[in-house]
Chains A and B, each alone.
Chain A
Amino acid sequence: MKREFVCIECPRGCDLTAETAQGGVIVAGNFCPRGKMYAEAEMTCPRRIVTSTVRAAHGMIPVKTGGEIRKEKIFEAMARIRALRVDRDVRQGEALSADIDGEGTPLIAAASYRNGER
């Protein structure tokens, strides 16, 4: 199977071609090693960082998954993120959930939050 896609690793956006060959993936068009890894993952198990917000008592806290999650788990993770509620102080980098994708990826606060202060 041969596929073409735009690399999302950085703003350069390389045009990648990837082809499955015996036992591996042949990647072309990548400027750097990250592009090769991205293309290989796209062919086998595409993964994404998901960013969203968590509802707190006095505003929204921006969050990100603490690593890439499997693409087909994105909406499952979103449902969990939407169900979360925060009513306490939060520090940037703190985990708001230990497992947001059902596979052990934590959900990380991308900003500090002071409860009671907008």
Chain B
Amino acid sequence: MKKQLVIIGGGPAGLAAAVAAYDAGVRDIAVIEREERAGGILKQCIHNGFGLTRFKESMTGPEYAQRFLDEVNARGIEIMTGTFVTGLGADKKVTCMNERGVFTLEAGAVILAMGCRERSKGALNIAGTRPAGLFSAGTAQKYVNIYGHLPGRRVVILGSGDIGLIMARRMTLEGAKVECVCEIMEHSGGLRRNIAQCLDDFGIPLYLEHTIVEIKGKERVESVVIAQVDKEKKPILGTEREIFCDTVLFSVGLIPENELTKGAGLALDPHTKGCFVDENRETDIPGVFACGNVLHVHDLVDFVSEEAEVAGRAAAAYLACGERERAYIPTEAGENVGYVLPQRAGKGKDVKLYFRVRSAFRNAVIRVEAGAAVKTYRRIAVAPGEMENVTVKAADLADAPSVRVSVVREA
């Protein structure tokens, strides 16, 4: 079966991309969603705070998702739910599977919007037994918010990413006792306001530069041993402390889910863990685009929607005009910057660069060097958990060999 545009993933990225592509003229669109309902992870993110940037109001995850679902439905865009994509070829053939069987969609253009998954406990190499009671924070969130089951009564959380912080509050509200949150870094990876409203509000301690060194318990978790870590992140002998609990939640990072991307032969950026894209979010395969958390893990869904719309419009332009020869300049991460996205920018137009800083500090200056042109932007505070962006003018890009973003302390 032929489809003009196939969008893989019906979460916030896929839905926004579908609407943008439709509004740019594409009519033959299929959004493929493996779950029974579209909306992605927002379905279980019942807390508020979504949409402040985009809609200037604080929405819950389900409300934010519904806003886009309504737009999709109003346009009559097809969402194939309960459908799993098993393969993507460099020829843009999308192999799908659902209860009706296996079928292939021959796509004119493809938008990758598969999102990300949680880094698992297995990646952490913690000593001890393997009892019940160990969950990733997102799995616990699904148990509580979708299925209505409380996975434990006495909880220790490893990692202070936003999902861990949100779950500390959620479990507390549902009657569990959250003993502490341990963070191996010297700063939290979560939003500052989440530390305030999810931990401080409920008197939950956050132990920075601490980790779990042992999990005890046979059938069920009985306790964990936590310890302070040194500069090399190695536990410091003598700082161990046993904390009794029946549940451990892991909120230790998100990884873009790029199995299909790799299958299509696309290379991944070791810093973003997503593929390489230009400012249109077009990958190394013409007509294949990527957006949202599959491309790089975002802090705010508002930016996911924005990025997805860029990809959606660009896919429509590709379908209308085909492949075009373009001149690019590479973007580079300089001092204190973990990555810059997009990795290359087409000449001749303004480009918005998204990036993450490596460490948190106040009174920061963002320095954007494009050849001889140097622009600086001030920020009150920057943190690795919070994505930053600046827009570079086309004129500044014209003769530059590259664009380099660095962040320094104000002199």
Q: In this assembly, does B386 line the interface, its C-beta being within 8 Å of a C-beta of chain A?
A: yes
Contact indicator B196/A8 (Cβ below 8 Å): yes
- A61 CB, min distance to chain B CBs, angstroms: 9
B70, closest chain A residue (CB): A92
In the bound complex, how far is the Cα of B383 from the Cα of A14, in angstroms? 12
In the bound complex, how far is the Cα of B295 from the Cα of A71, in angstroms? 39
Interface residues on B, range: 20 to 34
Residues of A within 8 A of B191 (CB): 11, 13
Most buried by B among A48, A55, A74, A110: A110
Contact indicator B173/A8 (Cβ below 8 Å): no
Residues of B within 8 A of A71 (CB): 201
What are 26 A-B residue pairs whose CB atoms fall within 8 Å in the complex? A5-B196, A6-B193, A6-B200, A10-B52, A11-B49, A11-B299, A11-B386, A13-B191, A13-B196, A13-B381, A31-B380, A48-B197, A49-B58, A51-B48, A51-B60, A55-B148, A59-B146, A60-B145, A62-B46, A64-B46, A64-B60, A71-B201, A78-B174, A110-B60, A110-B63, A111-B63
Residues of B within 8 A of A6 (CB): 192-193, 195-196, 200
- B226 CB, min distance to chain A CBs, angstroms: 24
11 other A-B residue contacts (CB within 8 Å) besides A10-B193, A51-B47 = A6-B192, A6-B193, A8-B196, A31-B380, A60-B148, A62-B60, A64-B60, A82-B174, A110-B62, A110-B63, A111-B63
- A65 CB, min distance to chain B CBs, angstroms: 10
In the bound complex, how far is the Cα of B145 from the Cα of A11, in angstroms? 23
Q: In this assembly, does B147 line the interface, its C-beta being within 8 Å of a C-beta of chain A?
A: yes
- A112 CB, min distance to chain B CBs, angstroms: 8
In the bound complex, how far is the Cα of B49 from the Cα of A50, in angstroms? 11
Q: In this assembly, does A53 line the interface, its C-beta being within 8 Å of a C-beta of chain B?
A: yes
Contact indicator A111/B66 (Cβ below 8 Å): yes
Contact indicator A110/B201 (Cβ below 8 Å): no
Contact indicator A78/B49 (Cβ below 8 Å): no
A81, closest chain B residue (CB): B173
Contact indicator A64/B148 (Cβ below 8 Å): no
Residues of A within 8 A of B63 (CB): 92, 110-111
Residues of B within 8 A of A14 (CB): 380
In the bound complex, how far is the Cα of B53 from the Cα of A51, in angstroms? 20
Q: In this assembly, does A69 line the interface, its C-beta being within 8 Å of a C-beta of chain B?
A: no
Binding site for B on A (CB under 8 A): 5-11, 13-15, 31, 48-53, 55, 59-60, 62-64, 71, 74-75, 78, 82, 92, 110-112, 118
Contact indicator A64/B201 (Cβ below 8 Å): no
B37, closest chain A residue (CB): A118
> Beyond A11-B49, A52-B173, A64-B48, is A111–B197 a contact (Cβ under 8 Å)?
no
> Beyond A6-B192, A11-B49, is A53–B201 a contact (Cβ under 8 Å)?
no
Contact indicator A8/B46 (Cβ below 8 Å): no
Q: In this assembly, does B144 line the interface, its C-beta being within 8 Å of a C-beta of chain A?
A: yes
Contact indicator A51/B66 (Cβ below 8 Å): no
In the bound complex, how far is the Cα of B191 from the Cα of A74, in angstroms? 22
Binding site for A on B (CB under 8 A): 36, 46-49, 52-53, 58, 60-63, 66, 144-148, 173-174, 191-193, 195-197, 200-201, 299-300, 380-381, 386
Contact indicator A62/B62 (Cβ below 8 Å): yes
Q: Indicate which residue in B66, B174, B192 contacts A13 across the interface (CB closer than 8 Å).
A: B192
Residues of A within 8 A of B201 (CB): 48, 71
In the bound complex, how far is the Cα of B62 from the Cα of A64, in angstroms? 11
B52, closest chain A residue (CB): A10
Contact indicator B193/A8 (Cβ below 8 Å): yes
In the bound complex, how far is the Cα of B173 from the Cα of A71, in angstroms? 12
- B145 CB, min distance to chain A CBs, angstroms: 6
Contact indicator B62/A50 (Cβ below 8 Å): no
In the bound complex, how far is the Cα of B264 from the Cα of A88, in angstroms? 46
Residues of A within 8 A of B195 (CB): 6
B47, closest chain A residue (CB): A51
Q: Indicate which residue in A64, A75, A92 contacts B66 across the interface (CB closer than 8 Å).
A: A92
Contact indicator B46/A53 (Cβ below 8 Å): yes
> Beyond A49-B58, A55-B148, is A110–B53 a contact (Cβ under 8 Å)?
no
Contact indicator B46/A110 (Cβ below 8 Å): yes
In the bound complex, how far is the Cα of B341 from the Cα of A101, in angstroms? 45
Q: Indicate which residue in A31, A60, A64, A74 contacts B146 across the interface (CB closer than 8 Å).
A: A60
Contact indicator A53/B145 (Cβ below 8 Å): yes
